[in-house]
Amino acid sequence: MKRKRYSMGFKAKVAVEAIKGQKTVNEIAAKHGVHPNQITQWKKEAMEGLPDLFSTRRKKAREEEAVLRDRLYQEIGRLQVELEWLKKKV
């Protein structure tokens, strides 16, 4: 049996609907064709992740990742130039 995969957007939409509490988990499950336990899990993950959205630590980590990524791309470019130069010399 093939395992069903859901997009992040779909999971977020269903989790927000569950967090709102306007419908029961079973109603949401029937509406979206997802098992109630899965909705409960997505809701739990969303609730645990919400504080990080407003964290300055997370923003700083993203900035550090961007700097590292840029540095690595520069290194890749430099190595490619060196490799091409070496190929021409041989």
Please tell me whether the overall predicted TM-score, pTM, comes out greater than 0.85 for this model: no
| 73 exposure class (CB count in 10 Å sphere: 0-12, 13-18, 19+) | exposed
Locate 20 and state its tokens. 């709102």
Q: Match 């949401």 to its residue by tokens.
A: 28
The domain segmentation of the chain, as residue ranges, is 1-54, 55-90
Quick check: 55 and 86 in contact, CB under 8 A? no
Per-residue pLDDT of the chain in tens (90 residues, 90 and over written 9): 778 899 999 999 999 999 999 999 999 999 999 999 999 999 999 999 888 777 777 788 888 999 999 999 999 999 999 999 999 988
